Amino acid sequence: MNTGKKRLLDFGIFLISTGILVAFDQWTKALAVANLKDQADIQLISGVLCLHYLENTGAAFGIFQDQRIFLLLLTTIILLCVCYVLWKIPGEKKYIPLKILCGMITAGGIGNLIDRVRLNYVVDFIYFSLIDFPVFNVADIYVTTSMILLLILVFFYYKDEDFQFLKWKREK
């Protein structure tokens, strides 16, 4: 298969898998609205984990509260950058983890972007009460875990030369 067709196939797989992840995120948020809004918390593990409905007008950990336009622009820029990186990633097998993480970051970004555009806030509902961790959602899990895994890959798996595909080529 030539490089162009392979790249289009990879991008198609990326779009489909990202769509599935976004759909799952939106489904869990719809369940949270239907079952948790204006209701008492649901204890999953007493004193450790519960479902708690929250309308978050900010970003992770409650930062940038009521900065909707800024968050919409920031998310759009990040998503465009991730898509650019994804398009530039070579087709070699060693880059498959990087492609998967790009999909997870994109799905998380789109999942929360949909909420911000549609509702003016993000639906959060998972709360680790044991450590009083901020309330979060499935899209946040996608972004957080993929960023942690990305850091691990960058520091311990890939070498500097593996990222030559991101370098700008100058015309002489």
- Does 91 have pLDDT greater than 70? yes
Q: What is the mean pLDDT of residues 98-117?
A: 94
Confidence of residue 59 (pLDDT cuts 50, 70, 90): confident
Dihedral sign, Cα of residue 114, residue 118, residue 132, residue 50: negative
- Does 11 have pLDDT greater than 90? no
Confidence of residue 119 (pLDDT cuts 50, 70, 90): very high
Residue positions annotated with a catalytic role: 124, 140
Q: Which helix (H) or strand (E) holds 51?
A: strand 49-56
Rounded-to-integer distance, Cα 150 and Cα 142, Å: 12
Q: How many Å separate Cα 145 from the centre of its chain? A: 9
What is the pLDDT, as a whole number, of residue 172? 53
Q: What is the mean pLDDT of residues 4-15?
A: 84
- Whole-Å CA distances, 126 to 44, 77, 118, 150, 160: 10, 27, 21, 23, 37
What is the pLDDT, as a whole number, of residue 87? 82
What is the pLDDT, as a whole number, of residue 46? 94
